[in-house]
Amino acid sequence: MLKIKEDELVHLIDKKGRRYQISLKASSSFSFSHGMISHDDIIGLEEGSTVKSSLGEKVVVVRPTLAEYISKMRKGSQIIYSKDIAAILMLSDIFPGAKVLEAGTGSGALTMALLRAVGRDGEVVSYERRGEFSEVARKNIENFFGKVGSAGKEGSGTLILKGKDIYEGIEEEELDRIILDLPEPWRVLKHVEQTLRNGGILLCYNPTVLQIYKLSRRLELKYERSFRVMGIYEVSMRGWEIKGRSMRPEHKMIAHTGFIFVARKWHPAIANSF
Ligand SMILES: C[S@@+](CC[C@H](N)C(=O)[O-])C[C@H]1O[C@@H](n2cnc3c(N)ncnc32)[C@H](O)[C@@H]1O
């Protein structure tokens, strides 16, 4: 049984489903409207156990899932929602050991999912041109995975954060995957063509169809020999509730968020003979 240890991040969930996130430190305590809980009472427990506050309120202790952590973490920029992150990982076929380049880092939501998917032998390089967003992302990521720059906790990969403008170029080579979440991905195509390995996958995430149209056109007109479009997607996810005999979709849903554009790099010699 994996007992909860000091320095771990946990969520305390009360009767109404409210969550409180704490990082466990010996001899510290957590105060909320239902009293106080000593961290020492949590350290050593099994995940899913309950603990009682000084005022008798019971809370359940769990390690947050990555999606739960992302929804609570500090946001600098608009993040990619978990429903889209899940699809991005599959559509770009992120695999253990992959070398992935991402831009922009933003708040680090997608970065974290990439780091976990590439595993201990993989590497994620993430470009962000705004220093203040990089700092928010670094803190978010280190809070969950440990120090940036070395393979992290939970078998996650190595992360390199770069304060760079990707429109000016990509320093890495032979990349397995390139993932872009920024306003003008077509401005990166010439760098992607030079640095993505043959057979590698480019995935771009953009909120408006005009961006996707411009990207497709640029690809078709200037880079047709190098890339083949694999698909353009949008992800809908609708939650349902079951309360007694009432079973129905939730009233609110996150509707349109972004389009996912996927292309694969060809060997130019092969493109000629097709
Ligand atoms: C929508 S946010 C990315 C959110 C991120 N994917 C997440 O899930 O947290 C877009 C980010 O791209 C950055 N950005 C825009 N243009 C860029 C460029 N040319 N080079 C590097 N970063 C850029 C912005 O500063 C912003 O932080």
Exposure b/e, 234-259, CB count within 10 A at least 16 = b: ebeeeeeeeeeeeeeeeeeeeeebbb
Q: What percent of the chain has pLDDT over 70?
A: 95
CA–centroid distance, residue 8 to ligand 1 (Å) = 29
Encode pLDDT of 122-135 as tens digits.
999 999 999 999 99
Closest residue to atom 15 of ligand 1, CA basis: 182
- Whether 127 lines ligand 1, by a CB cut-off of 6 Å, is yes
Residues of the chain with CATH 3.40.50.150: 67-273
Domain with CATH 3.10.330.20 in the chain: 9-64
Query: Is the pLDDT assigned to residue 274 strictly greater than 80?
Result: no
**DSSP per-residue letters across 209-262:** HHHHHHHHHHHHHH-TTTEEEEEEEE-----EEEETTEEEE-S-------EEEE
Residue nearest to atom 25 of ligand 1 (CA): 130
- Determine whether the shortest distance from the Cβ of 152 to ligand 1 is under 6 A: no
* pLDDT per position as a tens digit, 59-100: 999 999 999 999 999 998 899 999 999 999 999 999 999 999
> Sign (positive/negative) of CA torsion 34, 38, 41, 45?
positive
112: Cβ below 6 Å to ligand 1? no
Q: What tens digit of pLDDT does each residue of 146-158 get?
A: 776 665 666 789 9
Answer whether 144 contacts ligand 1 (Cβ < 6 A): no
Dig out the tokens for 113 from the structure: 């999912």
Against a cut of 0.85, is the pTM above it? yes
Instruction: For the domain made up of 67-273, give the CATH fold.
Output: Rossmann fold (3.40.50)
Range 9-64: architecture per CATH: Roll (3.10)
Task: Looking at the CA of residue 166, tell me the nearest atom of ligand 1.
Answer: 20
* CB distance 93 to ligand 1 below 6 Å: no
> Cα–Cα–Cα angle for 220, 185, 183, nearest 5°?
135
